[in-house]
């Protein structure tokens, strides 16, 4: 055994996730995971922004995404 996260194990985990959630849900899961990690990093840094500033920034990003 080389370790818990050898390439073979990662492929097996990926196949199981694909079977459980299906290919349509994977982008949503990735997006949610990325958002969670980003929020966690912001919280670790101290979160200098107030919640209202964060909400305004998120709304601006959503508007920009709709334009493209």
| Domains in the chain: ranges and CATH | 7-67 (1.20.5)
SS3 content of the chain, % helix, strand, coil (to 5): 75, 0, 25
If you search the block for the tokens 């959630």, which residue do you land on?
Answer: 21
Q: Taking all residues of the chain, what is their mean pLDDT, rounded to a whole number?
A: 82
Neighbouring CB atoms inside 10 A of 42's CB total 13
Q: What six digits make up the tokens of 32? A: 């949610």
pLDDT band at 40 (very low <50, low <70, confident <90, very high): very high
Residue 13 has pLDDT above 70, yes or no: yes
The predicted pLDDT at position 51 comes to: 63
Among the ranges given (16-20, 32-36, 63-67), the one the predictor scored with the smallest mean pLDDT:
63-67
Q: What six digits make up the tokens of 64? A: 């920009």
Residue 1 has pLDDT above 70, yes or no: no
């Amino acid at each position: 055994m080389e370790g818990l996260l050898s390439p073979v194990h990662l492929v097996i985990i990926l196949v199981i996730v694909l079977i459980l959630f299906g290919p349509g849900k994977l982008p949503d899961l990735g997006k949610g995971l990325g958002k969670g990690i980003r929020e966690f990093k912001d919280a670790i840094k101290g979160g200098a922004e107030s919640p209202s500033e964060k909400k305004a920034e998120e709304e601006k990003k959503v508007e920009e995404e709709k334009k493209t």
